[in-house]
Structure 1
Amino acid sequence: MWPLVAGCVPGVVLHGGVGMPAAAPEGLGGALARARYALSSARTTATDASRLTDAGSLTTLDALLTGVLADVGAAFSRTVLSPLPEADRPATAVLLSTLETFLACDGSWARAAQALHPHVNTVHYRVERIERLTGRDLSRLRDRLDLWAALLCR
């Protein structure tokens, strides 16, 4: 039905958000909040096109973060990653690239080294430096998620 609604007035961009059904009246507030979050996600991911987003489709960290306001995400990213030196320095770009690859490789030193092409000890050194600068322990899942979310919000 959404394509019909969105196509009624060509050139007008429509965004919609759908929450999960409420089992009882007490759940209406939560259903409305999820629908609003899905609407925010639709507006963020499709600024120039009509889009309907179902809250049930927000099943990944990437999808979840689409509903976060851009300035909120940017502030989070700056706060978490701010201990790293200025982003325009080449050494910082190497650290950020190493962090992103290390996290994408699920914390595997060997796979990260293979993807980045330095020796595995170099990856280990870089990750230790990131841990010292940010105060995060990349052996802990929570710290990995914080850093991954900060990278996605850049």
Structure 2
Amino acid sequence: MAIIRCRRSTAQASATVLGLTASSPASARLAVKSGRADAFFSSQAPLTYFVQQSKGELELAGTGQSNGFDDLYQGAVVPKDGPLRDVLLKAFQKLIAAAVGCLPDGTAFAVLPGDFPFLSGEVWRLVAGCEPSVPLRGGIGATAAGPQELAGALAEARYALASARSTAPDASLLTDVTTLSSVDQLLTGIPTEVRTAYRRTVLGPLLETGSVSSAVLLHTLQTFLACDGSWARTAEALHLHVNTVHYRIQRIEHFSGRDLSRLTDRLDLWTALLCRS
């Protein structure tokens, strides 16, 4: 289910962009009528038409809520007399969007005042919990100081959305780009295909399936990097003689073309290890 946060803002107001998964209007309308989705968000004119055509099966949860543009109103269609109606009505009473829309890839977005509370609170939990079997994922970009920064904020929100999809493919999750504070978390926003290609390119033969020696070298590499490149600690962790660790690291350097005495090469290999599917 797609959720759009709405609230009026001024041209000078700082804003934050929120990206969410969305379907086409026709598909969304059918999904609500069939019970596969709880609500469909759009501007008031098409929503009114959809309700009229539903023969009493649907109703508007909110009407006349300005979204920051003259004569354009934002609302939601829900099953008639359903429990979600009151929840959405309360949400629309508090959230009046500055701008909402749908990107070419089907991702819905909303521009909100930077000081406005996000859906990570009560509203997000309520809407995500209406249908636990339907994953709802969203991404929040950092606050933009002015209109010239909105494009960057949207890019951040889409990256955070990709991270949410990768981190929780089967569950609802809202990710704020400002919480991606480690390399492992940052990589979650990169497409799986790109991560897989990088891992394969950097680690090469060390990823050969069915090869005992490759598996041993890969495990040695993981342990060596986890031990901050300490020969003694790696030997202790693997229950090996230090000379054996030296030999294995030399083999790893041979296959990978990297020099594990260099920080940049260590970072390349560590990143490749983090790029799991």
- TM-score normalized with structure 2 length: 0.53
Q: Residue 259 of structure 2 aligns with which residue?
A: 137
Q: Which amino acid aligns with 1:89?
A: S
- Aligned equivalents of 1:16, 1:52: Cα separation in 2: 5
Q: Residue 198 of structure 2 aligns with which residue?
A: 76
Look at both structures and tell me which one has the larger radius of gyration over its CA atoms: 2
Q: Counterparts in 2 of 1:64-143, with a 5 A limit?
A: 64-84=186-206, 86-143=208-265
State the shift of 1:16 in Å: 0.4
- Aligned equivalents of 2:228, 2:137: Cα separation in 1: 35
- Aligned equivalents of 2:211, 2:205: Cα separation in 1: 13
State the shift of 1:85 in Å: 7.1
Does the alignment pair 1:7 with 2:159?
Answer: no
Aligned residue pairs total: 154
SS of the aligned residue for 2:199 comes to helix
**Which of the two has greater strand per residue?**
2
Q: Residue 40 of structure 1 aligns with which residue?
A: 162
Percent of matched pairs sharing the same residue? 66
- Aligned equivalents of 1:46, 1:84: Cα separation in 2: 28
Q: Counterparts in 2 of 1:23-38, with a 5 A limit?
A: 23-38=145-160
State the shift of 1:46 in Å: 0.7
Q: Residue 62 of structure 1 aligns with which residue?
A: 184
Cα pair 2:164 2:173 within 8 Å, conserved: yes
Q: Which amino acid aligns with 1:53?
A: T
Please list the CA deviations of residues 5-43 of structure 1 after superposition, one character each: whole Å capped at 9, or x if unmatched.
212334221000011101222221221111111100100
- TM-score normalized with structure 1 length: 0.93
SS of the aligned residue for 2:138 comes to strand
Query: Which of 142, 150, 158 pairs up with 1:20?
Result: 142
Please list the CA deviations of residues 98-140 of structure 1 after superposition, one character each: whole Å capped at 9, or x if unmatched.
0000111111111111111111111111112111221111122
Q: Which amino acid aligns with 2:168?
A: A
**Which of the two has greater helix per residue?**
1
Q: Residue 57 of structure 2 aligns with which residue?
A: none
Structure 2 unaligned runs (5+)? 1-120
Cα pair 2:207 2:215 within 8 Å, conserved: no
Q: Residue 49 of structure 1 aligns with which residue?
A: 171
State the shift of 1:69 in Å: 1.2
SS of the aligned residue for 2:175 comes to strand
